[in-house]
Amino acid sequence: MFAQGADLNALARQAGTPGIDGLKIVWLAPWGDVATAHRWTNIIVHQTEGPAGSARGGAAEQAKNPTRRGVMVWVETDGTVYWAVPETLVPTHTDGANRNDNKYIDNSQTYHQANKDTSIGVEFAGNYPDVTRPPTEAQVAAWRILVKLLRARYGIPLDHVYAHNWIDYKDARYCEGCALATMAREWGE
Protein backbone atom coordinates (compact mmCIF):
# COMPACT_ATOMS: atom_id res chain seq x y z
CA MET A 1 0.00 0.00 0.00
CA PHE A 2 1.10 3.61 -0.29
CA ALA A 3 1.44 6.50 2.09
CA GLN A 4 -1.90 8.01 3.05
CA GLY A 5 -3.02 11.31 4.54
CA ALA A 6 -0.34 13.14 6.48
CA ASP A 7 2.44 10.85 5.19
CA LEU A 8 1.60 11.55 1.55
CA ASN A 9 1.20 15.26 2.28
CA ALA A 10 4.65 15.35 3.89
CA LEU A 11 6.22 13.49 0.96
CA ALA A 12 4.47 15.79 -1.48
CA ARG A 13 6.12 18.85 0.07
CA GLN A 14 9.69 17.53 -0.20
CA ALA A 15 12.31 18.65 -2.69
CA GLY A 16 14.54 16.29 -4.63
CA THR A 17 13.54 12.81 -5.72
CA PRO A 18 11.44 11.33 -2.94
CA GLY A 19 10.50 7.69 -3.00
CA ILE A 20 6.74 7.15 -2.95
CA ASP A 21 5.56 3.71 -1.83
CA GLY A 22 3.68 1.96 -4.62
CA LEU A 23 4.89 4.40 -7.29
CA LYS A 24 7.97 3.92 -9.46
CA ILE A 25 9.15 7.37 -10.52
CA VAL A 26 12.06 8.00 -12.86
CA TRP A 27 13.19 11.53 -12.06
CA LEU A 28 14.52 13.28 -15.18
CA ALA A 29 13.93 16.57 -13.36
CA PRO A 30 13.87 16.55 -9.53
CA TRP A 31 11.40 18.56 -7.52
CA GLY A 32 12.53 21.92 -6.25
CA ASP A 33 11.14 23.84 -3.31
CA VAL A 34 7.36 23.67 -3.77
CA ALA A 35 7.15 27.36 -2.87
CA THR A 36 9.09 28.24 -6.04
CA ALA A 37 7.16 25.89 -8.35
CA HIS A 38 4.90 27.32 -11.02
CA ARG A 39 1.40 27.96 -9.62
CA TRP A 40 -0.47 24.90 -10.93
CA THR A 41 -4.24 24.90 -10.38
CA ASN A 42 -5.37 22.05 -12.66
CA ILE A 43 -4.37 18.58 -13.81
CA ILE A 44 -5.09 17.58 -17.41
CA VAL A 45 -5.05 13.90 -18.31
CA HIS A 46 -3.81 12.96 -21.78
CA GLN A 47 -3.44 9.67 -23.66
CA THR A 48 -0.85 9.41 -26.38
CA GLU A 49 -1.28 7.38 -29.52
CA GLY A 50 2.20 5.98 -29.00
CA PRO A 51 2.93 2.29 -28.56
CA ALA A 52 3.79 0.62 -25.27
CA GLY A 53 7.27 1.78 -24.30
CA SER A 54 6.87 5.27 -25.75
CA ALA A 55 6.53 7.16 -22.45
CA ARG A 56 10.24 6.85 -21.72
CA GLY A 57 11.20 8.30 -25.10
CA GLY A 58 8.58 11.03 -24.90
CA ALA A 59 9.75 12.00 -21.44
CA ALA A 60 13.40 12.05 -22.55
CA GLU A 61 12.56 14.33 -25.48
CA GLN A 62 10.51 16.55 -23.18
CA ALA A 63 13.43 16.76 -20.73
CA LYS A 64 15.72 17.94 -23.57
CA ASN A 65 13.28 20.65 -24.65
CA PRO A 66 10.91 21.26 -21.70
CA THR A 67 8.67 23.87 -23.30
CA ARG A 68 7.99 21.92 -26.51
CA ARG A 69 4.54 20.42 -27.12
CA GLY A 70 4.18 17.74 -24.47
CA VAL A 71 3.67 17.28 -20.75
CA MET A 72 5.48 17.34 -17.43
CA VAL A 73 4.65 13.78 -16.35
CA TRP A 74 4.50 10.62 -18.49
CA VAL A 75 3.08 7.22 -17.45
CA GLU A 76 4.17 4.01 -19.18
CA THR A 77 1.96 0.96 -19.68
CA ASP A 78 3.82 -0.83 -16.85
CA GLY A 79 2.93 2.05 -14.48
CA THR A 80 6.37 3.68 -14.45
CA VAL A 81 6.07 7.44 -14.03
CA TYR A 82 8.60 9.74 -15.71
CA TRP A 83 8.90 13.23 -14.22
CA ALA A 84 10.36 14.99 -17.26
CA VAL A 85 10.27 18.74 -16.67
CA PRO A 86 11.24 21.04 -13.79
CA GLU A 87 8.09 22.26 -12.10
CA THR A 88 9.08 25.89 -12.74
CA LEU A 89 8.67 25.46 -16.53
CA VAL A 90 5.50 25.32 -18.63
CA PRO A 91 5.25 22.67 -21.37
CA THR A 92 2.76 23.26 -24.19
CA HIS A 93 0.13 20.54 -23.83
CA THR A 94 -3.28 22.01 -24.55
CA ASP A 95 -4.86 24.10 -27.25
CA GLY A 96 -5.95 26.84 -24.90
CA ALA A 97 -9.04 25.32 -23.27
CA ASN A 98 -11.09 26.06 -26.35
CA ARG A 99 -14.05 23.78 -25.61
CA ASN A 100 -17.13 25.82 -24.73
CA ASP A 101 -19.95 23.43 -25.59
CA ASN A 102 -20.56 21.87 -22.15
CA LYS A 103 -20.55 18.44 -23.80
CA TYR A 104 -18.65 16.66 -21.00
CA ILE A 105 -18.56 19.22 -18.21
CA ASP A 106 -19.75 22.77 -17.61
CA ASN A 107 -17.05 24.74 -19.44
CA SER A 108 -17.87 28.10 -17.84
CA GLN A 109 -14.92 27.64 -15.46
CA THR A 110 -12.52 26.04 -17.97
CA TYR A 111 -12.99 27.99 -21.21
CA HIS A 112 -9.61 29.61 -21.92
CA GLN A 113 -8.72 29.06 -18.24
CA ALA A 114 -7.65 25.40 -17.78
CA ASN A 115 -4.73 25.72 -20.16
CA LYS A 116 -0.99 25.05 -20.34
CA ASP A 117 -0.23 28.00 -18.07
CA THR A 118 -2.42 26.72 -15.24
CA SER A 119 -2.28 22.96 -15.70
CA ILE A 120 0.05 20.05 -15.14
CA GLY A 121 -0.23 17.62 -18.02
CA VAL A 122 -0.02 13.87 -17.38
CA GLU A 123 0.39 11.69 -20.49
CA PHE A 124 -0.55 8.00 -20.48
CA ALA A 125 1.23 6.07 -23.26
CA GLY A 126 0.28 2.92 -25.07
CA ASN A 127 -3.05 3.19 -26.86
CA TYR A 128 -1.56 2.57 -30.32
CA PRO A 129 -2.84 1.38 -32.77
CA ASP A 130 -6.31 1.46 -31.17
CA VAL A 131 -6.90 4.93 -29.74
CA THR A 132 -9.90 3.62 -27.83
CA ARG A 133 -7.75 1.15 -25.84
CA PRO A 134 -8.15 1.88 -22.13
CA PRO A 135 -5.24 2.45 -19.75
CA THR A 136 -3.57 -0.67 -18.37
CA GLU A 137 -4.18 -1.93 -14.84
CA ALA A 138 -0.64 -0.81 -13.95
CA GLN A 139 -1.36 2.70 -15.25
CA VAL A 140 -4.58 2.89 -13.24
CA ALA A 141 -2.72 1.75 -10.10
CA ALA A 142 -0.03 4.40 -10.65
CA TRP A 143 -2.66 7.06 -11.37
CA ARG A 144 -4.46 6.28 -8.11
CA ILE A 145 -1.33 7.38 -6.22
CA LEU A 146 -0.02 10.00 -8.66
CA VAL A 147 -3.20 12.07 -8.76
CA LYS A 148 -3.26 12.24 -4.95
CA LEU A 149 0.41 13.19 -4.92
CA LEU A 150 -0.05 15.99 -7.47
CA ARG A 151 -3.11 17.32 -5.70
CA ALA A 152 -1.29 17.29 -2.34
CA ARG A 153 1.84 18.95 -3.73
CA TYR A 154 0.11 21.78 -5.53
CA GLY A 155 -3.17 22.10 -3.60
CA ILE A 156 -5.28 21.21 -6.64
CA PRO A 157 -8.95 20.58 -5.89
CA LEU A 158 -10.48 17.32 -7.04
CA ASP A 159 -12.86 19.10 -9.40
CA HIS A 160 -9.84 20.57 -11.20
CA VAL A 161 -8.77 17.19 -12.58
CA TYR A 162 -9.78 17.24 -16.24
CA ALA A 163 -9.66 14.98 -19.27
CA HIS A 164 -8.09 16.63 -22.29
CA ASN A 165 -11.35 16.19 -24.21
CA TRP A 166 -13.31 17.93 -21.46
CA ILE A 167 -11.48 21.21 -22.07
CA ASP A 168 -10.19 21.04 -25.67
CA TYR A 169 -11.76 19.89 -28.91
CA LYS A 170 -9.86 16.70 -29.71
CA ASP A 171 -9.97 13.54 -31.80
CA ALA A 172 -13.60 12.58 -32.45
CA ARG A 173 -12.74 8.85 -32.36
CA TYR A 174 -12.43 8.73 -28.56
CA CYS A 175 -12.57 10.85 -25.43
CA GLU A 176 -8.92 11.45 -24.52
CA GLY A 177 -8.29 11.07 -20.81
CA CYS A 178 -11.96 10.76 -19.89
CA ALA A 179 -11.78 7.38 -18.15
CA LEU A 180 -8.77 8.41 -16.04
CA ALA A 181 -10.17 11.81 -15.07
CA THR A 182 -13.50 10.22 -14.18
CA MET A 183 -11.73 7.59 -12.05
CA ALA A 184 -9.81 10.28 -10.15
CA ARG A 185 -12.99 12.19 -9.38
CA GLU A 186 -14.80 9.01 -8.31
CA TRP A 187 -11.95 8.00 -5.97
CA GLY A 188 -12.36 11.33 -4.22
CA GLU A 189 -10.14 12.44 -1.41
Q: In this predicted model, what pLDDT tens digit does every residue of 15-52 receive, in sequence order? A: 999 999 999 999 999 999 999 999 999 999 999 888 98
pLDDT one-digit tens code per residue, 72-88? 999 999 999 999 999 99
The pLDDT value given to residue 6: 63
Contacts of 63 (CB under 8 A, 6+ apart): 28, 29, 84, 85
Supply the mean pLDDT for the chain: 92
Mean pLDDT value of segment 133-141: 95
How far is 75 from 56, CA to CA, in rounded Å?
8
Taking the CA atoms of 94, 62, 152 and 52 in sequence, report the sign of the dihedral they define. Answer: positive
Mean pLDDT value of segment 143-158: 97
pTM recorded for the entire structure: 0.94
**Domain limits, the chain:** 5-187
CATH number of 5-187: 3.40.80.10
The pLDDT value given to residue 188: 82
How far is 146 from 140, CA to CA, in rounded Å?
10
Mean pLDDT value of segment 123-136: 89
User: 3-state DSSP call for residue 156?
Assistant: coil
Bridge partners, residue 99, by sequence: none
The pLDDT value given to residue 132: 85
Q: Work out the pLDDT band at 1, boundaries 50, 70, 90.
A: very low
